[in-house]
C-alpha cells in the first residue's frame, strides 16, 4: 500500500473522532499461539481474545512484547491484528495495537499502517530504546507521532529495557501532548517518580500498570488499570482487583493483590511469554507452548509453580456479600 492510500485511510479512520479511548480496567496483551508446524494458530488466538473479554477484561492488546512481535513476519503481524480487530468489533471492546520504532520516521510509518484497522482505538508505543535521546528528544518524538497517528497513543515507559529513564515531570509533559492518552508504567517497582506522577496527572491522562507484580499498589495510588500479560490467567481476579480498588474495598483488594502478585512473579521466573504459554497449554487453551527463538519454552518446574499459584487463586473465596459501589461512598 502506498503513502497516498495510507493517507486516505487515515482521513476516513479519524473522521468524527471527538474523544480518546477509555483507558481503564484490565487489558490483556495477547500472546501469539503457534500450532505444531510453528505457524500462527489464528483460531486459538481468537478463542483467547474472547475468553479474556468474557472474564472481564476491558480490552486486548495486539502486537505487544508478549506477542513475540519481533519474531513475527509482516504477514503474521497483519493476521494477528486482523483477528484481534474482528473480535473487538464483535465485542465492542478496546483494541490497542503495538506500534512504533526507534527512529521517528519508521515509527510514523508503523502508525500509518493502523489506518487499515478502523477497530484500533489506541497504539502502544515504546519510548525509543538503546539510542537514549534527551528528554526533549523524547518529547519531540512523541509530539511528531501524536500529530500523525490515526489513533491516540499510549506511551510504553519501561526504562529497564529501553535504557531511557523518565521522571514524573517528563511523563507529565508527555501526558500533556495532544493525542497522548496514557502511559503503560513499567518502572520496575513503586518509586518516588510513580508516586509523584499519580499525585498530579494531566487531565485525561491515564496511568496503566505495566509491571504485573506491582499492579495492586499502583491501582491503590490511583492508576486506572493495567496492561498485564499475567491476566491471560485468572482474568476474573485481575478484573475484580481493579474493581475493588475503584470501589474502595481495600481489604478485598489487598487479599487479591497478594495472590495475583504471587501468580505474576511465578509467570515471570523465565522470559515472558514462555511461562504464560506453558500454563495456557497445560490448561488446554492453546495447541502448543511453543515460542520462537531466541526465546526457549518454559521449564516444567516453572510451569508447575505457576499452576500452583493459579490454583490457589481459583480456590480463593468470593466476598461474603456482593459488592455495592454505593456502600464505599
* pLDDT number for residue 319: 67
Return the CATH fold of 22-234: TIM Barrel (3.20.20)
For residue 292, pLDDT beyond 60 = yes
Task: Summarize the confidence of residues 247-264 as an average pLDDT.
Answer: 97
Q: Which three cell numbers stand for residue 317?
A: 473465596
Task: Summarize the confidence of residues 230-243 as an average pLDDT.
Answer: 98
For residue 9, pLDDT beyond 80 = no
The tens digit of pLDDT for each residue in 42-92 reads: 999 999 999 999 999 999 999 999 999 999 999 999 999 999 999 999 999
**Phi and psi for 34 in degrees, rounded to 5?**
-120, 150
Give percent of the chain above pLDDT 70: 91
Give percent of the chain above pLDDT 90: 89
For residue 15, pLDDT beyond 60 = no
For residue 325, pLDDT beyond 80 = no
Task: Respond yes or no: is residue 156 known to be catalytic.
Answer: yes
Task: Summarize the confidence of residues 170-181 as an average pLDDT.
Answer: 98
- pLDDT band for position 19 (50/70/90)? low
Indicate which residue of 156, 185, 214, 277 is catalytic: 156
The span from the CA of 180 to the CA of 279, in Å, is 35
For residue 267, pLDDT beyond 80 = yes
* pLDDT number for residue 203: 93
Rounded to two decimals, what is the model's pTM? Answer: 0.91
Across the chain, mean pLDDT equals: 92
Task: Summarize the confidence of residues 311-316 as an average pLDDT.
Answer: 92
Task: Summarize the confidence of residues 153-170 as an average pLDDT.
Answer: 96
Indicate which residue of 10, 184, 185, 214 is catalytic: 184
The span from the CA of 85 to the CA of 94, in Å, is 9
For residue 5, pLDDT beyond 60 = no
- pLDDT band for position 21 (50/70/90)? confident
Handedness of CA 262, 264, 267, 270 (dihedral sign): negative
Listing DSSP states for 51-102 in one string gives HHHHTT-SEEEESSGGGTGGGS-HHHHHHHHHHHHHHHHHHT-EEEEEE--S
- pLDDT band for position 8 (50/70/90)? very low
Q: What is the CA radius of gyration of the chain?
A: 19
Q: Does residue 214 contact residue 189 with C-beta atoms inside 8 Å?
A: yes
Least reliable range by pLDDT among 8-22, 166-180, 237-251? 8-22
* pLDDT number for residue 317: 75
Task: Summarize the confidence of residues 171-176 as an average pLDDT.
Answer: 98
Cis upstream peptide for 294 (omega within 30°): yes
Amino acid at each position: 500500500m502506498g503513502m497516498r492510500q495510507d493517507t486516505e485511510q487515515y482521513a476516513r479512520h479519524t473522521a468524527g473522532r471527538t474523544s480518546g479511548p477509555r483507558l481503564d480496567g484490565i487489558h490483556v496483551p495477547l500472546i501469539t499461539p503457534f500450532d505444531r508446524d510453528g505457524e500462527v494458530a489464528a483460531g486459538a488466538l481468537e478463542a483467547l481474545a474472547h475468553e479474556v473479554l468474557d472474564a472481564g477484561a476491558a480490552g486486548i492488546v495486539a502486537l505487544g512484547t508478549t506477542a513475540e512481535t519481533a519474531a513475527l513476519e509482516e504477514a503474521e503481524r497483519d493476521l494477528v491484528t486482523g483477528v484481534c480487530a474482528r473480535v473487538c468489533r464483535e465485542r465492542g471492546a478496546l483494541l490497542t495495537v503495538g506500534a512504533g520504532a526507534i527512529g521517528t520516521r519508521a515509527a510514523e510509518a508503523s502508525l500509518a499502517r493502523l489506518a487499515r484497522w478502523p477497530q484500533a482505538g489506541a497504539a502502544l508505543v515504546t519510548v525509543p530504546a538503546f539510542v537514549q535521546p534527551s528528554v526533549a528528544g523524547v518529547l519531540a518524538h512523541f509530539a511528531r507521532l501524536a500529530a500523525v497517528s490515526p489513533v491516540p497513543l499510549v506511551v510504553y515507559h519501561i526504562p529497564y529495557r529501553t535504557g531511557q529513564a523518565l521522571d514524573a515531570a517528563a511523563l507529565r509533559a508527555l501526558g500533556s501532548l495532544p493525542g497522548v492518552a496514557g502511559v503503560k508504567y513499567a518502572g520496575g517497582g513503586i518509586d518516588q517518580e510513580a508516586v509523584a506522577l499519580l499525585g498530579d496527572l494531566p487531565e485525561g491522562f491515564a496511568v496503566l500498570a505495566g509491571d504485573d507484580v506491582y499492579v495492586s499498589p499502583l491501582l491503590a495510588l490511583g492508576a486506572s488499570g493495567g496492561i498485564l500479560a499475567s491476566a491471560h490467567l485468572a482474568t476474573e481476579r485481575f478484573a475484580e482487583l481493579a474493581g475493588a480498588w475503584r470501589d474502595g474495598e481495600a481489604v478485598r483488594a489487598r487479599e487479591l493483590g497478594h495472590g495475583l502478585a504471587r501468580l505474576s512473579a511465578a509467570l515471570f521466573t523465565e522470559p515472558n511469554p514462555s511461562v504464560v504459554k506453558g500454563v495456557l497449554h497445560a490448561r488446554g487453551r492453546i495447541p502448543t507452548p511453543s515460542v520462537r527463538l531466541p526465546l526457549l519454552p518454559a521449564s516444567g518446574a516453572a510451569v508447575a509453580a505457576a499452576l500452583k499459584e493459579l490454583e490457589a487463586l481459583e480456590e480463593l473465596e468470593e466476598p461474603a456479600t456482593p459488592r455495592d459501589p454505593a456502600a464505599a461512598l
